[in-house]
Structure 1
Amino acid sequence: MLRPKVPTMPQPTSLITPPAVVEPTAVIPHQDNTPAQVTPAPASARPTVQLTPGAVAALIGGGTAVVLVVGAVLVSMLLAVAITGASVAICALVIRSLINSEAKRH
């Protein structure tokens, strides 16, 4: 049916610069056989984190709250999708019924 036309490249209207010529060069490998000196990392100046029983309880409570909130949001989104689908199905049934009853009258 419809065949697209492939555009042809028109003749250039401006000056064309030739491509640059790259000449290969010799690669000389480095011949150093001295081993590298490895120094150990300095000890961290930060204090270690110590969890108290109250901090552990707060972490558990906070994690539980996050899980419950995310779960409630996901369940509410699923419920919204289900309600929307059911209402669209009901609308389709009503419209089909109206079209069928209108066709029977004529």
Structure 2
Amino acid sequence: MFLPKYPDNPTPPSAHTHTPADPAPVRRAIPPVSVSSGAVAAVVVGGVVLTALLTAVAVSAISVAIAAVVLRSLMRDQRR
């Protein structure tokens, strides 16, 4: 009499054997970059200078606009 090898499982075992994949490659970290205090100071000073220049340009533009409005008002009063 013929008895099945695996009575609880009606499907036959697979002929293909599973081989595990290679482990994930090791990720290499970027080497740490050291930033000197001189570089930080240069960036801060550069930022302060650029901010001061931008402020100076803005104040100058406002002053010119006010002067133009005053001159226009004076010229209009002179025509009357």
TM range (shorter): 0.5 to 0.7
1:53 equivalent to 2:22? Answer no
Q: Which has the larger radius of gyration?
A: 2
**Counterpart position of 1:74:** 58
Contiguous gaps of at least 5 residues in structure 2: 1-23
RMSD after superposition: 2.0
Residues 58 and 95 of structure 1: is their aligned pair in 2 closer, same or farther, counting only changes over 3 Å? same
Task: Report which structure shows greater RCO (CA 8 Å, sep ≥6).
Answer: 2
TM-score, with length taken from structure 2: 0.60
Q: Which stretches of structure 1, 4 residues or more, deviate above 6 A after TM superposition?
A: none
TM-score, with length taken from structure 1: 0.46
Contiguous gaps of at least 5 residues in structure 1: 1-38, 97-106
Report the residue type matching 2:76 in the other structure: A
